[in-house]
Amino acid sequence: MWEYTEKVMEHFLHPKNVGEIEDADAVGEVGSMQCGDLLKLYLKIKNGKIVDAKFKTFGCASAIASASALTELIKGKTLEEAAKITNKDIAEFLGGLPDMKLHCSVMGEEALEAALKDYYKKLGKEFKKTRYMVCHCFGLTNEDIINCIKKYNLKTVDEVGEKCKAGTSCGKCKGEIQKILADVNKTIKEISREEKNGKVDILRQ
């Protein structure tokens, strides 16, 4: 049995903003019935601000609570403000989630991103996020992993897993972690080389 906070139970038993917005300006759908989790998010947007948000979901208590929390977090916010909301914000709003249920808050972030992409696509624009989810099991983004690599000077995927858990559950993200490692270490080497060359030039002067 999972140990849930009072706020998780509140949003599970009495979820906010359940339903559908018929004339929604944006819709984001993630998950699938096959895997057991599905979330559909509806947004009503006016003058660049989210004036209403509703959801339909199929899933566990954490999935329902996370979706409910998400709608409460984004209502009244500008699109720019909403775009900055992460799965961690959702989990913190709920007073925390069990580690193995963090993917439910991740699904909330992904549904929001899908809805924003849908909205901007209708405007003929592209919605881009430099921050994206890598380890869905533990809710870790590329920024989380990059910061961990730099902080501890990590060189391997196993080292990343030891320090921040990324890739230690289902393992599906190990390939992406390897790419991030390569990019970060390549950048560090290039900066080091440039600094070294700069020092040499100064000495020559």
Residues marked active site are found at 35, 104
Q: By the 8 A CB rule, do 140 and 165 touch? A: yes
Give kind and range of the element (H or E) at residue 44. strand 37-46
Between CA 23 and CA 119 the distance in angstroms is 13
Q: Residues with Cβ < 8 Å from 163, sequence gap 6 or more? A: 148, 152, 154
Q: Which amino acid is at 15?
A: P
Find how far residue 185's CA is from the centre of its chain. 24
Distances in whole angstroms, Cα of residue 89 to Cα of each of 13, 53, 73, 157: 21, 17, 9, 26
